[in-house]
């Protein structure tokens, strides 16, 4: 399994997918257990705080050109997900991070590598981004892929 760590381009691609299409959903709900101050506001215990991943992942303060699909944003020297410890929170963050995150990432790499190895892919380059500010997300349906099994080599 150590060879999966060498798939850097795939890692960047999957992080970009995580950024644009959160596996944990659009928002995270967290209960406040201890009074905190945030942006000048006092938030008392018992309140519920909502973290909007879909908006956080599209903040221009964190990500350059956040509406664009650009996996290289995670490659050195950019590493935009490291600008803030909560910049990429598709699997949650802090002490509430998904305990299966590493297993899920490993499975995604194996699944994607298997699909890429076993099939020939043709993707139309034309697409329009989804409307992330309207729920449910509106699927544009313009990105199409044709998948075919490669001819047997003799």
- Strands 120-123, 48-52: pairing is unpaired
Q: How many other C-beta atoms are found inside a 10 Å radius of the C-beta of residue 138?
A: 12
Residues 41-59 have pLDDT tens digits of: 999 999 999 888 888 899 9
- Residue 136's pLDDT band, with cuts at 50, 70 and 90, is low
Full-model pTM: 0.79
Indicate the pairing of strand 41-43 with strand 36-38: antiparallel
Distance in angstroms (rounded) separating the CA atoms of residues 47 and 43: 7
145 C-beta neighbours (distance < 10 Å), count: 9
pLDDT of residue 42: 96
Closest CA to 11 of 83, 75, 77: 75
Q: How far is CA 36 from the centre of its chain?
A: 28
Spatial contact of 101 and 91, defined as CB atoms under 8 Å apart:
yes
Report the pLDDT value the prediction gives residue 126, as an integer from 0 to 100: 67
Average pLDDT (69-90) is 94
CA 118 to chain centre: 25
CA count, 13 A, side-chain hemisphere, 93: 17
């Amino acid at each position: 399994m150590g060879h999966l760590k060498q798939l850097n381009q795939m890692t960047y691609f999957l992080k970009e997918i995580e950024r644009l299409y959160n596996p944990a959903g659009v928002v995270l709900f967290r209960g406040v257990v201890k009074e905190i101050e945030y942006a000048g506001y006092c938030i008392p215990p018992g309140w519920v705080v909502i973290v909007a991943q879909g908006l956080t992942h599209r903040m221009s303060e964190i990500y350059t050109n956040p509406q664009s699909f650009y996996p290289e944003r995670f490659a050195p020297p950019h590493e935009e997900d490291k600008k803030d410890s909560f910049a990429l929170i598709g699997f949650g963050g802090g002490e509430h991070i998904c305990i299966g995150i590493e297993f899920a990432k490993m499975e995604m790499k194996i699944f994607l590598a298997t699909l890429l190895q076993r099939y020939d892919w043709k993707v139309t380059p034309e697409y329009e981004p989804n409307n992330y500010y309207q729920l449910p997300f509106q699927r544009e349906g313009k990105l199409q892929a044709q998948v075919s099994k490669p001819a047997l080599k003799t």
